[in-house]
Amino acid sequence: MLRSRKGLTLFLFMVTGAVVGGLVGDMLQKTQFFGEGTKFLVQKYEVLMIPPAVFDFYVLKFTAGLDFSPNLVSILGLVIAFYLFERL
């Protein structure tokens, strides 16, 4: 039980770190706060792309797909989240 709870906590930390890092990266890109020098930080890299699949059950239509394209700031967010998790 304790082991699965620790795994769930790590997963939540990593997802939060990636989301916060992605948001900070998008803000840096839109505001260009540091000028043109931040282009390499906010460039997205397509790692995983699964095109949407549509399941049509006549009454209910369900669409599922996955797109994982992090930028360097979101990866930095993952590293910081893992560091904070280890400090817990």
Encoding tokens for residue 25? 């990266």
Encoding tokens for residue 44? 């997205």
Phi/psi for 39 (5° steps) reads: -60, -40
CA atoms within 13 A on the CB side of 7: 4
- Reported as a single tens digit per residue, the pLDDT across 47-73 is 888 899 999 988 999 999 988 888 888
Q: What is the pTM of this model?
A: 0.73
Encoding tokens for residue 15? 């997802």
Residues linked to residue 63 through DSSP beta bridges, in sequence order: 54
- Reported as a single tens digit per residue, the pLDDT across 17-35 is 999 998 888 888 777 766 6
